[in-house]
A = this chain, B = another copy of it.
Amino acid sequence: MSDDVRMLVEEANAAFYRALESGVLERMVEVWAHEDWVRCVLPGWEMVVGWARVRDSWEAIFDGGQHMRAAPSEVWVRIIGDLAWVSCLENITVFNESSFDSAQAAATNLFMQRDGRWLMVLHHASPTPMIIPDASSDTIQ
């Protein structure tokens, strides 16, 4: 895989998290492919299918007005033709009136290339336990 393509995919992935942080629907609109088969699974939600419903989901989330930070880490990229598979951890902090909550999620993001742009076609995130992984252990965390 060329480093150039990998950088474009990493940038598309980063743009998704910046859109999430921004709370601005138009930025989320720019990140996604507008197809009736795109999919989004957020923690605690059922699977949302199709751009119209995915867009409605983000609108509802952003209308809530909650301010959050969402930083990806351990970003891993694999490119198969016009499809890019990104795996990462999401480090999320949600700010409330006088406090904040932090959580971590495991994410699978898929992007498809269209006219040189990499557009999101799947966002699947699920909450993970807040445990510091022990890479040397054979046991299940």
Contact = CB atoms under 8 A, between A and B. Distances in A.
Interface in A113-128: 122, 124-128
Number of copies: 2
Contacts of A49: 76
A85 B140 contact: no
B43 A126 contact: yes
Contact of A82 (B57, B80, B126, B140): B80
A129 interface: yes
A6 to B, nearest CB: 14
Interface centre among A49, A56, A78, A125 (most CB of B within 10 A): A78
A138 interface: yes
A20 interface: no
Category for how many chain A residues contact B: 35 or more
Nearest to A135: B53
A129 B39 contact: no
Interface in A48-83: 49, 56-57, 60, 76, 78, 80-83
A45 interface: yes
A37 interface: yes
A117 to B, nearest CB: 16
18 contacts: A37-B76, A41-B108, A41-B128, A43-B126, A45-B129, A46-B106, A46-B129, A46-B133, A46-B141, A47-B106, A56-B138, A60-B140, A81-B81, A83-B83, A83-B85, A85-B122, A87-B122, A126-B126
